[in-house]
Amino acid sequence: TGQILAMASQPKYDQANFADYETYLYKNPVVSDTFEPGSIMKTLTVSAGIDAGKITPDTTCPVCDQPRRIGGYTIRTWNDVYNPDISMRDALAKSDNTAMIFVAEQLGVENFQTYLKKFGIGEPINIDLQEDTATPFPTKWGPVELATRSFGQGITTTSLQMMRAVSAIANQGVMMQPQIVKEVVTPTGDVISIEPTV
């Protein structure tokens, strides 16, 4: 449904005595703070590859037996372990960076960008909370950037952007508008329901 049942952050502050706290604590980092999603992005990369028909869960990676050398850089897996002919299913389970590069290369820059935008990366959530903003979508896309962004480095999101994107995969490809308010009760007792929005 997109309805958010709970949201929390630490450290917190006491709203009744907010002047006793540093101002940076006032914001909601789930909405306002950006970060490099890292391996969370692999879920989107594999999903895009499958949806575009470039891979299947059983597609094997022909270039995953060693680090990848791209544009003068050596890109390794997170644990420096390599898996020749690893399937995409296992690559996702083992968080294999080289397999994600392979998927992104099969998609190509333009197709990969299109999928990230469809997932809402870079877009505001439009949620009923302050500080909801768009995140910068990268403009430079060379071979190295395509490679590193396939596993979530060199691109920024917010926690809610990633939650919305991954939830769409879990929801059979239907992206729901994240929603904080479920209903409003008027002073006269009338209930105004806020319906989930695709």
For the residues of 48-81, what is the DSSP string, one character each? HHHHTTS--TTPBPTT-SS-EEETTEEE--TTS-
pLDDT of residue 191: 97
Residue 24 in this model has a pLDDT that exceeds 90: no
Is the per-residue pLDDT at 131 higher than 90? no
User: What confidence tens digit (pLDDT) does each residue in 69-96 have?
Assistant: 999 999 999 999 999 999 999 999 999 9
Once rounded to an integer, what is the mean pLDDT over residues 36-46? 97
Q: What pLDDT does residue 98 have?
A: 98
Identify the H or E element spanning 167: helix 159-170
